[in-house]
Amino acid sequence: MTPSAAFDVMVLGGGLGGLSVALRLADAGLRVGVMRKKPSTESSSAWAQGGIAAAIDVEDSPARHAADTLVAGGGLCRPATVDFVVNQAPDAIRWLQQQGVGFTAAGPNHRGSLHLTREGGHSRRRIVHAADATGRAIIAALEARVAEHDGIQVLDDRIGIDLITSAKQRMPGPNRCVGIHALNRVTGRVETIAARSIVLATGGASKIYLYTTNPDTSTGDGIAMAWRAGCRVANMEFVQFHPTCLFHPLAKSELISEAVRGEGGVLRLPDGRRFMDAHDPRAELAPRDIVARAIDAEMKRGGLDCVYLDISHKPAAEILEHFPNIAQRLRTFGIDMTRDPIPVVPAAHYSCGGIVTDLDAATDLPGLFAVGECTWTGLHGANRLASNSLLECVVFGAAASRRIVEEIGGTPPPATNLAPWDESRVTDPDELVIVSHNWNELRHFMWDYVGIVRTNKRLARARHRVDLLQEEITEFYGHFRVTNDLIELRNLALVAELTILCAQSRQESRGLHCNRDYPAALPDPEARDTILIPGAAARMQA
């Protein structure tokens, strides 16, 4: 590929959001590029175990699905968004099946139907899944379709640096997104790519924390690029910590699915006592924020390294049927989940805030769309309901595709004269240890000060530390050629700053945001989203 490549649409990200958009647009006859840092198998979507929430059972309904989503969201879900998503959930499942995804079927007495599991916060069994590796099955099917599609070109080993706008290029007419500068991680060259529309599907930002269930690609790239291009972000303070990440010295980002608790798994202290019923009447089936805080409280109270998730009281054959991949993975660490309790700790899992979009996935910048975890759509509110994330990717992927197809005829062709990346005044970095040191410092203080439980003093300390880091990173970025690690560090530091600003603005405890200095939640009628506007102070909006 040459440094002057051009597409109708460039999609950043190879997870479910990105691939679903790319396939729909290519099926509509558009020339689509898909830019990935790493293979789609290393995306957060591919790592998803549980499944996709959809009210497809005769005893369920979109209205019940919506009600559960609103309860989990702690008063900050946008009802219009929730209704929009849950009502399209059955169509999302059918579309995935049409792409070749093989979901787990119900038993022989339920011919033609799908097996449904139940997860925390859901009042019904409505989780469509492919055993316990749903994300892997979905990504494999969509990747196969992408590979055979003539309308899609995959650009691997590339990371976006910054969006290109017509205003920056001094083009006539209203400002819009016209392309992107991206680093080719193989050649080390910065490429200039033009497109009529850009879709950000870059995932979340959980790598700002020391412990996370996310892959290494979750560095907030899309959120940071959109902010620098002038887009609003919202509700960055709501970071979901998954209650059950495997605690083992050789394990890295090993998630133990929500479905283990949904199928009867219980949480125990090292002496075998259950504790969740003392924290919430729903016990292990309470929403994730409640379970994560309960585990955190028990660990702090007892000085524990971990707690234990135990499903060994269920028949071994049943456990292995529902969780074959988790069981196999645990065996590599010497744990037999049919007999042994699983050591677990909470870990950063999902970003409920992000780039502000409308119901067409459009951002504040014309020509720029965003889908998936990098966005704030109003679906998740103060806490995401389990298995609504993959659903959001498919539904808003379809919405973005419809809007882009409608608009594409009225937009100018991809620009052929975009200014190339200017590195005439930079040199090769001389001390990369600065990058790795700042990366480690950032993740440590975010875990200590902006983690599961926060205080005003902790947030102030984090703000001071991130300001100092930003100064160092800005100086380094201005003097040296970009590298993958420098780009990701720059993005992580910015996303950390946005997260801290949002957390300092919310003077209450709500959903995933728990501040000991404001232990109570404001009355729901007074609940506001935290909207950050580039160049302005954070403000709360209804």
Each residue's pLDDT, cut to its tens digit, for the chain (542 residues) gives: 344 589 999 999 999 999 999 999 999 999 999 999 998 888 888 888 789 999 999 999 999 999 999 999 999 999 999 999 999 999 999 999 999 999 999 876 555 589 999 887 899 999 999 988 899 999 999 999 999 999 999 999 999 999 999 999 989 889 999 999 999 999 999 999 999 999 999 999 999 998 898 888 999 999 999 999 999 999 999 999 989 999 988 887 788 988 899 899 999 999 999 999 999 999 998 878 889 989 988 988 899 989 999 999 999 999 999 999 899 999 999 999 999 999 999 999 999 999 999 999 999 999 999 999 999 999 999 999 989 999 999 999 999 999 999 998 878 788 878 988 888 777 877 667 778 889 899 999 999 899 999 999 999 999 999 999 999 999 888 888 899 999 999 999 999 999 999 999 999 999 999 999 999 999 988 889 999 999 875 454 54
Domain 433-521 grouped into CATH 1.10.1060.10: no
Residue 167, Cβ density class (10 Å: 0-12 exposed, 13-18 middle, ≥19 buried): middle
Q: Would you say 206 and 214 are in contact if contact means Cβ atoms under 8 Å apart?
A: yes
pLDDT at 256: 92
Terminal CA-CA length for the chain: 46
Q: Does the predicted TM-score (pTM) go above 0.75?
A: yes
Element (H, E) at 519: none
What was the pLDDT predicted at 108?
63
DSSP annotation of 263: T
Among 58, 77, 182, 189, which Cα is nearest to 126's? 58
pLDDT confidence of residue 431: 67
3-class secondary-structure state, position 355: strand
CATH 1.20.58.100 range(s) for the chain read 433-521
In this prediction, residue 1 carries a pLDDT of: 39
**Identified catalytic residue from 24, 196, 261, 288:** 288
Span 244-348 CATH architecture: Alpha-Beta Complex (3.90)
Class of domain 6-237+352-408 (CATH, top level):
alpha beta
528 is an active site residue: no
* Residues forming CATH 3.90.700.10 domain(s) in the chain: 244-348
- Every domain of the chain with CATH number 3.50.50.60 lies at 6-237+352-408
pLDDT of residue 249: 84
The pLDDT score that the predictor gives to residue 2 is 43
CB distance 510 to 76 below 8 Å: yes
Q: How far is CA 226 from CA 107, 363, 364, 414, in A?
A: 46, 9, 9, 20
